[in-house]
Amino acid sequence: MIDSLYIAWQYIRSNKIRTATLIACITLISFLPVSLQLLLGESEQQLMSRAVSTPLVIGAKGSSLDLVMNSLYFSDEIPELISMEASDRVMESDLALPIPVYARFHARGNSIVGTTLDYFDFRGLKVTEGRNLAMLGDCVLGAKVAENLGLKPGDSLLSSPETLFDLAGVYPLKMKVVGVLQKSHTSDDLAVFVDIKTTWVIQGLGHGHQDVTNLTDPTLILKRSQSNVAATAKLYHHTEITKKNIDSFHFHGNTSIYPITAVIVAPYDDKSGTILRGRYLSKDETLQIIKPEEVIDGLLQNIFRIKNVLDAVIAVVALATILAVILVFALSLRLRQREIQTIFKLGCSRLTIARLVGAEIFIIVLSSGLLCGVMILVVNQISHDLVRMLFIR
Amino acid sequence: MNKRSEFQNPKPKIRTVFFCMACVIIACSSPIAAADNGTSDKLTVYVVNYPLKYFAERIAGDHARVVFPAPSEGDPAYWMPDAVTIAAYQKADLILRNGANYAKWVSKVSLPRSKMVDTSAKFKDRLITAEEVVTHSHGAAGAHAHESLAFTTWLDFDLAAKQAGVVMAALSRKKPAAKDFFKKNYTALENDLLAIDDEMKRIAAKNLLSPLVASHPVYDYLSRRYGLNMKSVHWEPDEFPSAAQWSELRAMLKKHPAKWMIWEQEPMKASAARLKAMGVDSLVFDPCGNIPDQGDFLSVMRRNGKNLKPAFQQ
């Protein structure tokens, strides 16, 4: 047997290109399905982990996928807006902790996420540089945002207007960067966090300006009566919130009806969660309460359906490759006809010739197996970071 | 020889070292353990005004450390804390708010909603919209006002008792083991507040129609609860009113012939004298939004009641 392996090895050494091609074909065809399985498994785990760690989400009735993707992964698809009353309603129920989320605006291509301080405790986010949100206009950056934009505490960041064509719209707000979050390898790394009230200032629902009741410049007054002062468009609005002007900032009307995109709900226990879900089942209800785990699970089911198609394609390619390999060996045997006849004339039996060919195939398959094993080990090692990189860009 | 014997028998030294180490460990660990027990057991409660501090302290007793970090001078309703103080509020176990737009700084800072308790949320429908507010409008938002709600809710002692009830419920949620203790203390506080409420009703009932002028519009809840016939001007006790303010008062007195002006603090002697010349006496009814120089919330309110009595004599 050793002799056969020796002769096969010598033959392989003298036909390097053919052997390398065969090894590459077999390696790739066995590596592809296994690595795909590994990466999909890791993606599923990572996608699900964020969904599983978010017990319930309340939002407007409509696409539950948009709602989950926006409130968990801050996607650009904005679900229909709801009001802060949805959050107050959960708070008043005393069944769960509501965390309002308003993920609508952007700053230099990154999502601005308006929320409350409870979000940071809920997600276990820690500030590594600077401090947490304290004043209106403060922002805390996700690790990746700080890295990409080269920002640190003390710098400022301007919110982006929703549309370039809204010339009479609200001025962008110059936010003060007060902290940078520890890397969490989640969507939080790509977000700019502000207090929910700051997002309302960005939207123009809250603002700061000169005290209109004490204006002396007549060009600033459109109409003055005993009970109302109407100001002209010339009235100066502050575009940055500072210690000096923070007193002039105020909100129009009742803040409990101000808009948000969703409410993340953390029930105090399983029973409270079930009771709460039951309260949103009515047909007249304008809100929906969803379990992100179920939505993401549904999404992954679809992804796995696509995976089945991929598996079928790989199976066909594998079959074609195996046939090609058989053909290569058959042709190789035909090309080596004279060489085989010489061996035969030297007194070797057919079995010996079969053993020689078998040894060749064994060496090629073994090499492919080893190479494939090493590649799978590498993918397994980096799959965690690779998937994070794919999801977190 | 001696040296040799010391090396040969090291036990006495080792014993001494062990004894010293044990002493150090005991000495260090005891106070730490005691301090830990002391701090970890106590709730840290931050409040936005003195009445809530008083209510929380009365109800929680030794179970909580109640902190009211506003400076002793000035009105806490218009105070703005710095970032360090806000961080301290953020770390508290419980943040008691007065509600009714009191302490506007709360709407300009980031505080954890899970820790905040609005003590007037349960009687939102009973909050008073302040009169004489000039609205303003600009852009598409329409007219709006910066100040619209009267916020000295605790001057209606029935509402004050309700606020104290919310404080009790919040403390009980945070520390269920002490629920009965909180309930007992709350009942005592409620009785005290309702006793003042009864006393105020008795005082006012003597002459309900007696017209009064308030130096500041902070007595809306007091006025409504006890049926006072009160109108307000915007005077400061430590500032002598301007000519315009005097003429505004004179015009008011023609339609509303008040004989008494209610001040938040002792007015300037010159102001009181000029008022006296106009036939208007001065009395102090301290809203007690900040920590009083003497006494506590109850004693200040009892003193207020006594001060108010002459205004209702027939």
Q: Closest chain A residue to B144 measured between Cα atoms? A: A252
Query: Structural domain tally of chain A?
Result: 2
B141 interaction partners in chain A (CB closer than 8 Å): 204, 252
Give the closest of A131, A212, A252 to B141, CB-based: A252
DSSP output for A244-282? TTGGGEEE-S-GGG-EESEEEEEESSHHHHHHHHHTT--
Interchain contact, B136 vs A132, CB within 8 Å: no
Residue A25: inside a domain: yes
Which residues lie closer than 8 Å to B117 by C-beta, 6 or more apart? B94, B95, B96, B97, B166, B167, B170
User: Do the Cβ atoms of A136 and B109 come within 8 Å?
Assistant: yes
Mutation choice for A interface testing from B78, B86, B118, B138 by most A CBs within 10 A: B138
Residues from chain B contacting residue A116 (CB–CB below 8 Å): 110, 112-114
Residue A237: inside a domain: no
B139 vs B257, higher pLDDT: B257
Any domain includes A221: no
How close, in Å, is residue A197 to chain B by CA atoms?
8
**Phi-psi bin for A62: left (phi > 0), alpha (psi -120 to 50), beta?**
left
Closest among A7, A42, A258 to B107, alpha carbons compared? A258
- Average pLDDT of the segment spanning B174-182: 96
Residues of chain A with C-beta less than 8 angstroms from the C-beta of B90: 117, 132, 134
- Angstroms from B148 CA to nearest CA on chain A: 10
Find the CB nearest B134 among A91, A213, A253. A213
Give yes or no: residues A96 and A185 share one domain: yes
B interface test, pick of A227, A243, A260 with most B CB neighbours within 10 Å: A227
Residues A286 and A320 in one domain: no
Q: Are residues A43 and A87 in the same domain?
A: no
Find which of A101, A117, A246, A260 to mutate to test the B interface (most B CBs within 10 Å of its CB).
A117
Among A290, A310, A341, the domain boundary falls at A290
CB atoms closer than 10 angstroms to residue B192: 19
- Compute the residue count for chain A: 393
A157/A86 same-domain check: yes
Which one of A235, A252, A264 would you mutate to disrupt binding with B, by most B Cβ within 10 Å of its Cβ? A252
Cα gap B193→B55, rounded to integer Å = 10
Strands A262-267 and A259-260: what pairing? unpaired
**Which residues in chain B touch residue A213, judged by CB atoms under 8 angstroms apart?**
134, 136
pTM exceeding 0.80: no
User: So what's the ipTM on this one?
Assistant: 0.75
Rounded to a whole number of angstroms, the distance from the CA of A240 to the nearest CA of chain B is 13
Same domain for A314 and A363?
yes
Residue A13 and residue A153 in one domain: no
Region of poorest pLDDT, from A148-152, A322-326, B95-99, B139-143:
B139-143
Q: What is the mean pLDDT of residues B6-22?
A: 50
Q: Which of A227, A232, A250 sits opposite B146 (nearest CB)?
A: A250
Cross-chain Cβ contact A131/B80 below 8 Å:
no
Contact A252 B146 (CB under 8 A): no
CB-CB neighbors (< 8 A) of B100 in chain A: none
Lowest mean pLDDT among A182-186, A276-280, B52-56, B157-161: A182-186
A196 and A278 both lie in a single domain: yes
Structure tokens at A276: 């709460």
Q: What is the pLDDT along chain A (393 residues), one digit of tens a residue?
A: 678 888 888 888 888 888 898 888 888 888 888 888 888 888 888 878 899 999 999 999 999 999 999 999 999 889 999 999 999 999 989 899 999 999 999 999 999 999 999 999 999 999 999 999 999 999 999 999 999 999 999 999 999 987 766 666 667 899 999 999 999 988 999 999 999 999 999 998 888 877 766 667 777 676 777 666 776 666 667 788 888 888 888 887 788 899 999 999 999 999 999 999 999 999 899 999 999 999 998 888 887 777 788 788 888 888 888 888 788 778 877 888 888 888 888 888 888 888 888 888 899 999 999 999 999 999 999 888 888 776 554
User: Which DSSP symbol is given to A74?
Assistant: -
- Å between B136 CA and nearest CA of chain A: 5
Domain assignment of residue A234, yes or no: no
Domains observed in chain B: 41-120+153-197 (3.40.50.1980), 206-312 (3.40.50.1980)
- Strands of chain A (E only): list them: 56-60, 82-83, 96-107, 110-115, 127-130, 138-141, 156-158, 174-181, 191-195, 206-208, 221-224, 228-231, 249-251, 259-260, 262-267, 287-290
Q: What is the pLDDT of residues B201-248, one digit of tens each?
A: 999 988 777 899 999 999 999 999 999 999 999 998 999 999 999 999
A239, A267, A290 — which closes off a domain? A290
Lowest average pLDDT, out of A8-12, A288-292, B47-51, B101-105, goes to A8-12
Q: Do A42 and A171 belong to one domain? A: no
Judgement on whether residues A19 and A101 belong to the same structural domain of the protein: no
Q: Does residue A65 sit in the same domain as residue A29?
A: no
Contact A228 B110 (CB under 8 A): no
Tokens 């429908």 map to which residue? B125
| Helix and strand numbers, DSSP H then E, in chain B | 10, 9
C-beta atoms of B110 and A247 within 8 A: no
Tell me which residue in B80, B114, B141 faces A118 most closely, judged by beta carbons: B114
Q: Is it the case that residue B96 has pLDDT exceeding 80?
A: yes
Q: Nearest 5 degrees, angle CA A297-CA A120-CA A177?
A: 120
Tokens found for residue A298: 């549904």
Q: In this predicted structure, what is the pLDDT of residue B35?
A: 37
Q: Across the interface, which of B107, B139, B143 has its CB nearest the CB of A228? A: B143
CB contact under 8 A, B87 and A138: no
| A310 in a structural domain | yes
Domain contains A79: yes
Whether residue A216 is contained in a domain is answered as no
Whether residue B147 has pLDDT greater than 90: no
Residue A318, in any domain of the structure = yes
Domain that holds residue A177: 56-205+252-290
Q: Which of A230, A247, A250 sits opposite B137 (nearest CB)?
A: A230
Chosen domain end from A272, A290, A308: A290
In this structure, are A146 and A87 located in the same domain? yes
Contact A246 B141 (CB under 8 A): no
Residue B314 — very low, low, confident or very high, per pLDDT cuts 50/70/90?
low
Asked whether residue A42 falls in the same domain as residue A143, the answer is no
Q: Which of A91, A228, A246 sits opposite B108 (nearest CB)?
A: A246
Quick check: A247 and B109 CB within 8 A?
no
At residue A371's C-alpha, the angle toward residues A367 and A372, to 5°, is 115
